[in-house]
């Protein structure tokens, strides 16, 4: 049989787990191509090689040109490719999942489709933000009110810490530079956080659109998970950058977010939290998070058929009798 046209896919064994990857890399004003299993970025200063299998998200800014082969490699490696506008405040696309089973996706869909289980997960998300507090009896309205107060308090505390004036969160999505320096930094920081969280969600095989707190948007689950970390990651970084009075707020903020994620093992934390939220506690205890992840990667080329008696049967089998 003749070989299939095109480059061979990257072997699954060569791909890094989501929590072991680089968080994100931002490129602008360059040509992005592929050389073997590396992404290359070329401008007037030369060429840089980027191992695609270790990358979580590649942010493609203004002036970037990307080849078809580069996108093929990113897709095969499960790396999120994100086209962003000026200052990196919007993102649009993602790669394929690293998982080979739909275990987490099915769990997510089942949990979000039932009112009681959805409320339980939403409460668990808020409980992660309020350590030591009991959220089990609170309504969604009460949880939203408590969260709003927590975020406003966080803004005031960080403004006082760095010694800058703070009024309120105010920004125009269509005009980045119209905002105050701290609002610009917050927009850039949150967008970088969204991009990395999006990459983790997709890598695990979950749906970015099936949110528990947020709803009705294709990135609802991205916003759900990102909100778990804003108070520890994007908000303090944004106020630090605003106080430093840097020339390029967007670029300085992205670098600071990347440094914060690298130092705090962010990807590992994000992966663990998503699994904890979507997996019954007794299942995690019995099998452990590593075994659960191995199960999601098992059976790379096995497609099963749904059966209404609650079990799955192998695909690729002729079940009907010959006539």
Q: Residue ranges of the domains in the chain?
A: 12-88, 103-278
CB of 198 within 8 A of CB of 91?
Answer: yes
Tens place of pLDDT for every residue, the chain, 323 residues?
445 445 555 555 555 566 667 677 888 899 999 988 888 999 999 999 988 877 877 888 888 999 988 888 887 777 777 777 765 556 666 556 666 678 899 999 999 999 999 999 999 999 998 888 888 888 999 999 989 899 999 999 999 999 998 888 877 666 667 778 999 999 989 988 998 898 889 878 899 999 999 999 988 999 999 999 999 999 999 999 999 988 889 889 988 998 888 766 888 899 899 999 998 765 544 444 444 444 444 444 556 666 666 666 665 555 655 54
**55 φψ region: left (φ > 0), alpha (ψ -120 to 50), beta (else):** beta
State the Cα–Cα distance between residues 316 and 293, nearest whole angstrom. Answer: 26
DSSP 311: -
Pairing state between β 46-51 and 304-306: unpaired
Given this model, what pLDDT does residue 137 score? 85
Please tell me the predicted confidence (pLDDT) of residue 257.
92
Cα–Cα distance list, 320 to 108, 175, 305, 323 (Å): 33, 61, 14, 9
Q: Taking every pair of C-alpha atoms in the chain, what is the biggest distance, in angstroms?
A: 82
- The pTM (predicted TM-score) of the whole model is 0.71
Fold of 12-88: Ribosomal Protein L15; Chain: K; domain 2 (3.100.10)
Predicted pLDDT of residue 312: 66
The span from the CA of 186 to the CA of 221, in Å, is 20
Radius of gyration for the chain, computed over Cα atoms and rounded to the nearest angstrom: 22
CB 94 within 8 A of CB 198: yes
Residue 208 near residue 221, CB atoms below 8 Å:
yes
Give the architecture-level CATH label for domain 103-278: Up-down Bundle (1.20)
Closest to 261 measured CA to CA, from 189, 318, 202: 189
245 labeled binding residue = no
Nearest-5° Cα angle at 128, 204 to 154: 115
- Residue 214 is assigned to a ligand binding site: yes
Query: Which residue(s) pair with 251 in the sheet?
Result: none
Q: Is 208 helix (H, G, I), strand (E, B) or coil?
A: coil
Residues 6+ apart with CB under 8 A from 190: 226, 230, 234
| Distance separating alpha carbons of residues 204 and 214, to the nearest angstrom | 19
- Has 147 been labeled as part of a binding site? yes
Residue 237, sorted as left (phi over 0), alpha (psi -120 to 50) or beta, turns out to be alpha
Instruction: Give the residue carrying structure tokens 């990196």.
Output: 88
Measured CA to CA, the distance from residue 158 to residue 239 in angstroms comes to 6
What's the confidence (pLDDT) of residue 203?
79
């Amino acid at each position: 049989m003749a070989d299939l046209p095109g480059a061979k896919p990257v072997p699954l064994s060569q791909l890094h787990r989501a929590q072991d990857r680089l968080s994100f890399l931002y490129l602008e004003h360059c040509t992005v191509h592929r050389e073997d299993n590396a992404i290359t970025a070329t401008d007037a200063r030369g060429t840089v090689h980027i191992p695609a299998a270790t990358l979580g998200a590649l942010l493609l800014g203004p002036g970037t040109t990307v080849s078809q082969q580069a996108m093929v490699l990113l897709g095969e490696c499960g790396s999120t490719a994100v086209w962003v506008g000026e200052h990196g405040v919007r993102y649009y696309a993602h790669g394929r999942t690293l998982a080979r089973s739909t275990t987490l996706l099915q769990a997510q869909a089942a949990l979000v489709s039932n009112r009681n289980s959805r409320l339980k997960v939403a409460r668990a998300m808020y409980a992660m933000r309020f350590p030591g507090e009991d959220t089990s009896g609170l309504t969604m309205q009460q949880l939203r009110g408590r969260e709003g107060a927590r975020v406003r308090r966080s803004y005031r505390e960080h403004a006082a810490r760095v010694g800058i004036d703070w009024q309120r969160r105010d920004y125009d999505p269509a005009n980045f530079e119209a905002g105050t320096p701290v609002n610009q930094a917050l927009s850039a920081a949150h967008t970088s956080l969204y991009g990395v969280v999006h990459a983790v969600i997709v890598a695990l095989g979950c749906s970015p659109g099936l949110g528990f707190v947020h709803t009705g948007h294709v990135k609802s689950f991205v916003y759900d998970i990102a909100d778990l970390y804003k108070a520890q990651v994007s908000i303090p970084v944004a106020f630090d950058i605003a106080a430093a009075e840097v020339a390029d707020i967007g670029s300085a903020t992205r670098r600071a977010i990347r440094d914060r994620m690298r130092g705090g093992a962010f990807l590992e934390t994000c992966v663990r939290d998503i699994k904890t939220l979507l997996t019954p506690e007794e299942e995690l205890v019995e099998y452990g998070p590593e075994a659960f992840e191995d199960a999601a990667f098992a059976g790379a080329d096995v497609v099963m058929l749904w059966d209404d008696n609650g079990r799955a049967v192998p695909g690729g089998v002729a079940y009907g009798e010959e006539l």
